[in-house]
Structure 1
């Protein structure tokens, strides 16, 4: 087995800063997408291992390094799902996850979900296609801008904006005519919910 060459001190210091700044958000990102908390911890370990192994390739600005970290997390999660769902129907697994697992891990997350009519929104999300659902979760739960969510999903920003509008319209239709006020307030409510999550 080939031994990895040690990182130069300045690169090692930068990787440590990147890990410290993003580890908590990466863990939350993973927790929201797996059914068992221990799976998220294991996946985070894999992400951090890749970060150290590829330390020389970590971007040198805070924002680019953060996006790079989440790109790795997305790849690690994709491989995890590929292994875990070989014999399961993906749609069923996602519905069960959204029904049985909390989308948000902290008390602030739970409070935010409650303000957003948690039950109705969660049920409506299960009826969206996977691309639309992932886009909304990235924007309103993980706190990414539409532009950054587009980068993570490897689509252009205009496509992401179109999908975003269509996804919100489908949510509105699913929630029913008695929720006519939801259309006017959903973006503000979701963004308020996101901003209520404590920052480091």
Structure 2
């Protein structure tokens, strides 16, 4: 309600998709703020269904470590291995009994086997930087919380605020260095 004109104005909204509008059960303007105000809190009861995450069906294919083919020795080893595999399959590929799909599947399998033997598969190297440095991080966090409490006790003190900000930057640099190795 406008304080002088006493006219009501709608300034609070609950936004939902058109397909989900039937899931909004109750929408109300709530009274009872702790002090006088010309605003009211908008409350909505919504029936939400959270979908479970989609999981890929079937076996997962491992990724080949193709960057190893930049090395000339690995590239030559791959060529030799592939040539051996294709030479062994030459009779089955030239047979008119095999369909085009069967020929493609055998060539694809030979290519994948040769690559797996020579370059291998990629391995995920997720380093859990927090576990190996947990004591250091906990100490830094304790210092930061201590400096923050000191800043809250004396908000006009620039030295406590500067110390709190310095420790926050140090934690940020520390975590940035560990995640971007």
TM tier relative to shorter chain = under 0.3
More strand per residue:
2
| TM value normalised by structure 2 | 0.24
Larger Rg: 2
| TM value normalised by structure 1 | 0.22
Q: Comparing both chains, which one has the higher relative contact order based on Cα–Cα distances under 8 Å and sequence gaps of 6 or more?
A: 1
